[in-house]
Structure 1
Amino acid sequence: MTPSRSTARAGRAAQLQGLLEHLLGAPLPVRLRAWDGSEAGPPGAPVLEVRDRRALRHLLWRPDELGLARAWVAGDLDLPPGGDLYAMMESLLPLVEAARGSDRPRPRLREHLGTLLRLGALGPRPPLPPEEARELTGRRHSLTRDRQAIRHHYDVGNEFYRLVLGPSLVYSCAYWPPGTPDLESAQANKLDLVCRKLGLRPGMRLLDVGCGWGSMLLHAARHYGVHGVGITLSQEQAAAARERIAQEGLADRLEVRIQDYREVPDGPFDAISSIGMAEHVGAEQYLAYAGKLYDLLAPEGRLLNHQIARRPTRPGERYELSPFIAAYVFPDGELMPIGGTVSLLERAGFEVRDVEALREHYAVTLRAWVSNLEADWERAVKLVGRGRARVWRLYMAASAVAFESNSIGVNQVLAVRTRDSGRSGMPRSRACWQPGSDAPSADGASADGPSV
């Protein structure tokens, strides 16, 4: 008996589901829609469209998160019109995290050869999306290789970043206390919180490590009267930061350099901010990073280290950065648990005075960035290409879900270089840097009384 057209169509989707579950090693928590319109999978689950059989070839060559990512970036996997990307990420994240870092053997496909032939999935590996980082050379976290990694991510065009981040051009977690109306206000809140924690006052000298487009420097100079040096490895960031500084008439007080933190020669500084930069340092280099910043600070100088953190590994568990993030977003990036960060800062000589978790704040921030991208999607595609725009949409939405689920976090660690006598110059409590409090006065007294 010849099967009906509807039976054949349903069979293709079911075969596709079985094959993908075999490749990924777990039941699929999403509903699949094949390139012929057939569907299979849990009713009511988010729908993932397999638009081209090339998606299967990507997964045959790399049956994991990276294979899925390659198919997504290439446009062979997608959502149907009106599909909910966050719901899709919430469904897939447990599967992806369970597989990440596991030692599961490569799946055997002999029993699926007939299915592969019927689906047209056999063939050479599809071309890798050009957005994938493959050009990095040299020793990991060497000066040369770090420059390559930073430029892969940041030198994609300042206008694209302005579209995603908004006018603030702040590329790190915003701060959303109750009543914050929008992203710009939340980013201003964050910059001001950093300035208050650092106890900035007129005439102080600030170093901003990984200064981006200069937003922290500009806020500190405008509102706290500091002189500042910002360093970045991105040519495009540096050019935009210098232009913004010149437009505000602050070139006599602010300087932006294309320079690695290891190359800064001219301490001491009264304060150092490192906001969203330490994720690029690497675990093996972290003690040297902390030691260099310690050496650049004057006695009683403060460091504000704002950094994404991962959950600690369990006994016998191997840590691995997301292969998608490593290949498409932050090459050579590494995350540490907050405990490791605090320990290494202390080993470098710092006294850690405060740790504040901002995990939920970052989820809100990322959703705002995704909204900016989706609201001006076609312009984003014109600026950086469809593949890179798809990378960013996936990366930011997946990251928002990861923060919401406590898979990753973000923390501000405030540390100080105490004097030999033990004097820190720090206030007794957090009160002086809470929103709504008065900033520290020019004579060093905090809002809750004289310094200790």
Structure 2
Amino acid sequence: MAMHPLRQRVTGLLEEAGLQADGPGECDPQILDPRFYGRVLRQGSLGLGESYMDGWWRVGSLDGMLHRLLRHGTDGRVHGLRSRLDDLRAWLLNLQAGRRALAVGERHYDLGNDLFAAMLGRRMVYSCGYWLQAADLDAAQEAKLDLVCRKLGLRPGMRVLDIGCGWGEALQYAAQRYGVEGVGVTISREQAQHAHRLCAGLPVEIRLQDYHALAADGAGERFDRIFSIGMFEHVGARNYRAYFEVARRCLRPDPATGGGLFLLHCIGSNVSVRHTDPWIARYIFPNSMLPSAAQIAAAAEGLFVLEDWHGFGTDYDRTLQAWRANIEAAWDTLPPRYDERFRRMWRFYLAASMAAFRARRIQLWQLVLSPQGVPGGYLAPR
């Protein structure tokens, strides 16, 4: 009997990536519902992720399978209608401004502190750890926080701004270890409440505030140092320039460092895009967008001197594996609102992220910038 054309097409794409539908390997998907084939061809990555959430297929190594698909460029050969519509929306609308800018806080970061506490380890740091000399997740996250502080040359008495402060861990660390005072802004109520408790008794102020409101009049607060860890991915290409302008306005003049220092820690894309993957946009990070090196450089041009650009994206694969181990061990202790479909969604999210970093499709960057250039040059810690 001849194979159905839809099944034949998807089977051929899998085979090109070294995969076999219903095959014996740990990366071979086992197809449990024949509607899978048509859904993937019609909807691309959205259909692949949703069909996994719906239990239409399973696989021994989800990240292994997705890694093979990305390494062989299979995703570039199947584009669903949603991807084309997202591209059009991004052309017509500023998806990261006004009320839309708050969507990611409400739909992702406010899911529940119990979920993130179970996944992220002793420190609730939702960004890449630094594994150069670390043996476990907690050590890697502390090494990352210390690396940020050392790159900025933090000293007692400095005033520091954290744009997108998350649960407050970075500001707490900087205040306790380096004697600084600070202000952190976040658009997530859950994060702000936790950060308030975490930083109680420290010279740290946590604000439920969008970054656009910082120094909006051009004559507002000034800081000696600024860092932003894992937040720039939600800014959007239309707003990159305004974001750097805010950072520039918030830096206090400092002749010794060329006018203060700003550290940007973010995930980056190898290519310039206007929108994110349709499945990620619908289920994980609404209105998010990964910047390219070209977009960052263009947005910062004329505002900052680029002192250092440090990439360690392969560390994110290891960080994600640690998060996955933590959350898999904790599922049965979490509230029933994290049902089986949510678990499958979360597993797909973590595995797809691992695959993207492992395939070197996306990167992790730390940039150090100064408004006027550090006199005599900047020596970058590692």
Residues 316 and 357 in structure 2, CA contact (< 8 A), matched pair in contact too:
yes
Aligned partners of 2:62 and 2:197: how far apart in 1? 36
Aligned partners of 2:156 and 2:286: how far apart in 1? 38
2:239 corresponds to 1:289: no
Identity of aligned residues (%): 38
Decide whether aligned partners of structure 1 residues 167 and 27 sit closer, same or farther in structure 2, where only a CA change above 3 A counts.
closer
In structure 2, the residue matched to 1:76 is 56
Q: How many residues align?
A: 360
2:153 corresponds to 1:175: no
Query: Deviations for 1:395-422, whole angstroms, at most 9, x for unmatched residues?
Result: 112211211221111110000122xxx6
TM-score by length of 1: 0.73
Query: Deviations for 1:20-75, whole angstroms, at most 9, x for unmatched residues?
Result: 34368834443334xxxxxxx5x546232333456457447x33111111111222
Residues 11 and 20 in structure 2, CA contact (< 8 A), matched pair in contact too:
no
Residues 233 and 258 in structure 1, CA contact (< 8 A), matched pair in contact too:
yes
Aligned partners of 1:333 and 1:415: how far apart in 2? 23
Q: Secondary structure at the match of 1:298?
A: coil
1:319 to partner: Cα distance: 6.5
In structure 1, the residue matched to 2:45 is 65
Aligned partners of 1:99 and 1:380: how far apart in 2? 38
1:342 to partner: Cα distance: 2.5
Q: Secondary structure at the match of 1:274?
A: strand
Q: Secondary structure at the match of 2:279?
A: helix
Aligned partners of 2:14 and 2:282: how far apart in 1? 26
Name the stretch that deviates more: 47-56 or 399-408.
47-56
Aligned partners of 1:283 and 1:139: how far apart in 2? 9
Q: Secondary structure at the match of 2:132?
A: coil
In structure 2, the residue matched to 1:3 is none
Query: Deviations for 1:255-287, whole angstroms, at most 9, x for unmatched residues?
Result: 111101111244211111111100100111100
2:25 corresponds to 1:47: no
2:296 corresponds to 1:309: no
Decide whether aligned partners of structure 1 residues 200 and 48 sit closer, same or farther in structure 2, where only a CA change above 3 A counts.
same
Moved over 6 A (4+): none
Gaps of 5+ in 2: 85-92, 254-258
Decide whether aligned partners of structure 1 residues 339 and 324 sit closer, same or farther in structure 2, where only a CA change above 3 A counts.
same
Q: Secondary structure at the match of 2:105?
A: helix
In structure 2, the residue matched to 1:395 is 349
In structure 2, the residue matched to 1:406 is 360
From 180, 185, 195, the equivalent of 2:149 is 195
Aligned partners of 2:213 and 2:12: how far apart in 1? 46
Decide whether aligned partners of structure 1 residues 63 and 384 sit closer, same or farther in structure 2, where only a CA change above 3 A counts.
same
TM-score by length of 2: 0.86
In structure 2, the residue matched to 1:372 is 326
From 56, 70, 75, the equivalent of 1:97 is 75
Aligned partners of 2:159 and 2:305: how far apart in 1? 20
Query: Deviations for 1:98-143, whole angstroms, at most 9, x for unmatched residues?
Result: 236699xx9xxxxxxxxxxxxxxxxxxxxxxxxxxxxxxx852222
Residues 380 and 389 in structure 1, CA contact (< 8 A), matched pair in contact too:
no
Residues 373 and 380 in structure 1, CA contact (< 8 A), matched pair in contact too:
no
Decide whether aligned partners of structure 1 residues 426 and 295 sit closer, same or farther in structure 2, where only a CA change above 3 A counts.
farther
In structure 2, the residue matched to 1:149 is 104
2:22 corresponds to 1:30: no
Residues 46 and 80 in structure 2, CA contact (< 8 A), matched pair in contact too:
no
Gaps of 5+ in 1: 1-10, 34-40, 107-137, 435-452
From 102, 119, 122, the equivalent of 1:164 is 119
Q: Secondary structure at the match of 1:47?
A: coil
1:362 to partner: Cα distance: 1.1
Aligned partners of 2:239 and 2:332: how far apart in 1? 40
Two-structure CA RMSD over aligned residues (Å): 2.6
Aligned partners of 1:257 and 1:51: how far apart in 2? 48
In structure 2, the residue matched to 1:245 is 199
Amino acid at match of 2:28: V
Decide whether aligned partners of structure 1 residues 236 and 280 sit closer, same or farther in structure 2, where only a CA change above 3 A counts.
same
Decide whether aligned partners of structure 1 residues 381 and 74 sit closer, same or farther in structure 2, where only a CA change above 3 A counts.
farther
Aligned partners of 2:347 and 2:290: how far apart in 1? 21
